[in-house]
Amino acid sequence: MGKARQEPWSGSAGSKDGNEPGNQEGEYAGAPNPDVLLPELDDKQLQALSVVGRDWGGAAGNPEEWRSALPVDPDLGRYPAPRAIRPTRFGRFVRLAGRNGQLPAIRTTSETEAPSSWKGRAAGTVRRILLGPPLAVTAIALERMRKLVALPVLSADAISSIAYGPQAMLAILVLAGTAGLSYTLPISAVIAFLMLAVGVSYRQTIRAYPFGGGSYLVAGDNLGRVAGLVAAAGLATDYILTVAVSVSSGVAAITSAIPSLTPDTVVIGVGVIALLLAGNLRGVRQAGTMFSLPTYAFIAAIGALVAVGAVHAAGRGWQPLPRPRLTAAEGVGVLLVLRAFASGSTAMTGIEAISNAVPAFQPVEWRNARTTLTWMISLLIALFAGTIALVMLDGVVPNQSETVLSQLAHSNFGPGLMYMFTQASTAAILLLAANTAYNDLPRLLFLMARDRQAPRLFLAIGDRLGFSNGIIALSVASAVIYVVFGGQTEALIPLFAVGVFLAFTMSQTGMVVHWWRHRNEAHWRKSMAFNATGASLSAIVFITAGITKFTAGAWAAILVIVLFILAALRIRRYYDMVDQALALHPHTTGEVPRYEPALRPGGAGRLTSPARRQNAARTNHEAEAEVEETPGEIHHLAIVPMATLDLAGLRALAYAASFQQPVLALHISPTGSEAERFRDYWRTWGNHLPLHVIVSPHRAIIAPMVHYIWSLHHQRPDLTLTVIVPEIIVRHWWHRILHNQNAPRLKRALQPLPKVVVTTVPFHLPH
């Protein structure tokens, strides 16, 4: 899969070599990758860059004249090797010693307004206290998990659905009284079969996509871009509602144990979401023993509950306990049964998680992932069946004040320690399940942004190597939904089922097409049959949930899905337009008039030797007072920030060079490999102007540039530094969210610095 074009400082759109989303063999598709912002140019683009470079060569003259005319030494030193960087616990800065110890340090591990901004320093201190020090790019790594660790980490979402899936089904059946509850066993049997069928289907997905195959990638690969967006829309609603439903269920477990907290349900839930936000921005990872304990504790609690309940039932000859007297509000009918089936099927959420995270397993990855998926499905079916059996034997029915699991634990354990353990483990696994969405939705938005189908702000990798903007968007969306629905799980369930099974349907349908295209592989017919069964059953649940729960709230989920798809298509069309506008176009008018720069070594008052530069730095400190009154007192150096070599960037370079004053191009790279790739493109262009590349291992852009310019000013305080920034001018204000805001941020950050002038070269998008 091609990578997206990096935006110039204005925040232009990106381009991608491929047209469709797809899995990249040998690479974890959703892994954070700072290099994604710089394109891997194809042969056609490289040829255009070379032709444009020849045109520049004819116009700009000898590149050595531009280099010898620089009044400063651009090499201020380099960052230490990433492994040598040891930020202080609450510090922002990594010091960089200048050459010969004569230059000030370029500092920063994170963005800040300016070297002299107290607001920036204060904000940075608070940020470090809350989130911790930034992590270097080299810290990006996938943890290889053993099956015993991967099982609880990746199955938390699925297994935790035992806490609300059966209750959601019973809440519908109880509307028809005792007659309705008589359908509990047959509906549960169908749901258990559906779990088995979908689980076996995802085993085939893992075999076909051994490097990770989420619904977005699978559907996009096999059914086309729109189908991939349909799957992505279902997944997005699923993940947002996973947080809302898991938090509401977890809070319900707490209020069932401590009824006095019931009036504070909304406040507690919002507080939990805020903690999840802070934890994930800080870089919480779902790995290790700490994250395994809640899942294993919940499995142990439900297993013990079912075992104790079975012993009690055996002691009374397996006779069900009488239920409370029920008043039927509805008659038993096909519609009610289908509604109950759709609600109970939410116990299947999270089955896809293992197929998404295949590369996180120890070798052989796909085999261990399939084994773990089998364990998860077996546990899910066993716990679901055991819970339903216990509900029937104990005569439990849903009520507003206490969850079904709490009633079962009260009935079989009493109010003692085991009851509290069951409620605590239920709340813990539900919160862990909510955290699963924080890993998946930001990664999905990253993949969509890489394919130019979501705003490019979701490509950003935060200080702690997470997709910070995606994490924030998920928190805000889930908190709004949680508050609107008052934290009531039953009210959220109708929205939940639609997105879950839409994603299942698209993924499994895509797998059917995959096996048909790969008919030469062994066992393709059996695999296609499994996936076709999973697709059919998932489609049935999706249609059932959409129809039967339409008026109960499913209409909102369907509307959101449609709007999501339309927005993604419009974003893709917009980025295509911007990409076309920024594409390089070699001159076609023949010979380019030669441009003779008035730059000669030692000429026009230029100071070119290191000794003369240092002498100027010693004798011209009074220039910091900005007292120039005549043109002859102003000595220029133009600095052009370059994110990529596109039309907007080259236009800014041409504008800077047209003044016949020294020019220095400046590029900030997040990794050494990206820096070398940019240098290669610069050489392909012709290396006509001096270039300096700064590798910022913590992905900061503005702060390293500000500190670099500040250091150049310290070296030559008599110079007027003119920073020339390319800036995209959008047609509508709402297009701004589709671009980064580096140009205005850079202007604000440079404003406090003396002898620095910032000017922008506007690039107007076509109307």
Which residue from 489, 398, 382, 498 is spatially nearest to 180, judged by alpha carbons? 398
What does the block give as tokens for 75?
């090499």
Residue of 663 and 612 predicted with greater confidence: 663
Q: Model confidence at 349, in pLDDT bands (50, 70, 90)? A: confident
Average pLDDT over all residues of the chain: 77
Residue bearing tokens 């912002």: 37
> Which helix or strand (DSSP H or E) is residue 419 part of?
helix 417-450
pLDDT exceeds cutoff 90 at 376: yes
What does the block give as tokens for 445?
């938005």
List the single range of 102-116, 214-228, 235-249, 392-406 with lowest mean pLDDT. Answer: 102-116
Average pLDDT over residues 433-447: 82
Which residue from 428, 390, 384, 483 is spatially nearest to 257, judged by alpha carbons? 428
Q: In Å, how far are 352, 365, 477, 487, 757 from 238, measured between CA atoms?
A: 11, 26, 12, 17, 49
pLDDT exceeds cutoff 80 at 436: no
Under a CB-based contact definition with an 8 Å cutoff, are residues 132 and 280 in contact? no
> Which helix or strand (DSSP H or E) is residue 723 part of?
strand 719-729
Q: Model confidence at 353, in pLDDT bands (50, 70, 90)? A: confident
pLDDT value for 611: 38
pLDDT value for 580: 79
Q: Model confidence at 5, in pLDDT bands (50, 70, 90)? A: very low
Give residue-wise pLDDT tens across range 653-708: 888 888 888 889 988 887 777 888 888 888 888 888 888 888 876 667 777 788 78
pLDDT exceeds cutoff 80 at 151: yes
Instruction: Quote the CA–CA distance of 233 and 239 in Å, as a whole number.
Output: 10
Q: Model confidence at 551, in pLDDT bands (50, 70, 90)? A: confident
* Domains of the chain (ranges, CATH numbers): 34-69+86-135+599-764 (no CATH), 161-575 (1.20.1740.10)
pLDDT value for 32: 57
pTM: 0.74
Q: What angle do CA 586, 723, 707 make, to 5 degrees?
A: 125
Would you mind telling me the total number of residues written for the chain in this entry?
767
The angle that helices 225-257 and 555-582 make with each other, rounded to 10 degrees, is 130
Q: Model confidence at 374, in pLDDT bands (50, 70, 90)? A: very high
List the single range of 264-278, 297-311, 435-449, 598-612 with lowest mean pLDDT. Answer: 598-612
pLDDT value for 571: 92
Under a CB-based contact definition with an 8 Å cutoff, are residues 147 and 368 in contact? yes
Average pLDDT over residues 413-421: 91
pLDDT value for 173: 92
Q: Which range in 11-15, 61-65, 497-501 is most confidently predicted, on average pLDDT?
A: 497-501
